[in-house]
């Protein structure tokens, strides 16, 4: 099993960024917890603050990463604005699970809209850093079907 974890803008600041909303766990903590929880799974980790770099990585993962079973994507604020990311997700044959640490449906109205949700296999939000574990488990189950 091989899963990619892709994080968008400002998620490199997890742990110090608005901890009352996003919690105290860093991206590195999240990577360690995924490796611990799923010892039998290969992970590819990628983070960028740039929309184009995220599109490039989704394309690379979709077409050039051998044996990839799924992608967990926290697109950060690009979730609400990026048609380019939605197009990239629709363009690749690998299933993408949308995640958000916060419950985007309980926040400002602009965050309630996700441009990427319609092209993702599913979405999980609001459970803090555990969303990465939950989405990985969902993609593993999809791949095992
Ligand atoms: C987020 C929610 C987005 O609205 C926000 O722009 C983020 C983080 C989350 O994980 O809760 O950067 O994706």
91: left (phi over 0), alpha (psi -120 to 50) or beta: alpha
Containing structural domain, residue 12: 2-144
Q: Is residue 5 a contact partner of residue 31, using CB atoms and an 8 Å limit? A: yes
CA 102 – ligand 1 centroid, Å = 7
Predicted TM-score of the model (pTM): 0.98
**Active-site residue identified among 22, 63, 78, 80:** 22
Element (H or E) spanning 6, and its range?
Answer: strand 2-7
Residue list, ligand 1 pocket, CB within 6 Å: 10, 74, 76-77, 79, 100-102, 104, 111
- As for how many domains the chain has, the answer is 1
115 pLDDT tier (thresholds 50, 70, 90): very high
Q: Is residue 50 a contact partner of residue 11, using CB atoms and an 8 Å limit? A: no
User: How much is the pLDDT for 121?
Assistant: 98
Per-residue pLDDT reduced to its tens digit, 14-59:
999 999 999 999 999 999 999 999 999 999 999 999 999 999 999 9
Pairing between β-strand 70-74 and β-strand 96-100 as defined by DSSP bridges: parallel
What CATH number should be reported for the domain holding residue 86? 3.40.50.9100
Structure tokens at 31: 């990577």
């Amino acid at each position: 099993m091989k899963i990619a974890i892709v994080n968008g803008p400002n998620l490199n600041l997890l742990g110090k960024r608005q901890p009352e909303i996003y919690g105290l766990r860093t991206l590195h903590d999240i990577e360690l917890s995924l490796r611990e929880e799923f010892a039998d799974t290969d992970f590819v980790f990628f983070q960028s603050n740039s929309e184009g770099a995220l599109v490039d990585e989704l394309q690379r993962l979709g077409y050039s990463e051998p044996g990839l079973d799924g992608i967990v994507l926290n697109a950060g604020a690009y979730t609400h604005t990026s048609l380019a990311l939605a197009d990239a997700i629709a363009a690749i044959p690998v299933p993408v699970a949308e995640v958000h640490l916060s419950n985007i449906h309980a926040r400002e109205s602009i965050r309630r809209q996700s441009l990427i949700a319609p092209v993702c296999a599913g979405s999980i939000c609001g459970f803090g850093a555990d969303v990465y574990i939950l989405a990985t488990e969902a993609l593993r189950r999809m791949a095992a079907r």
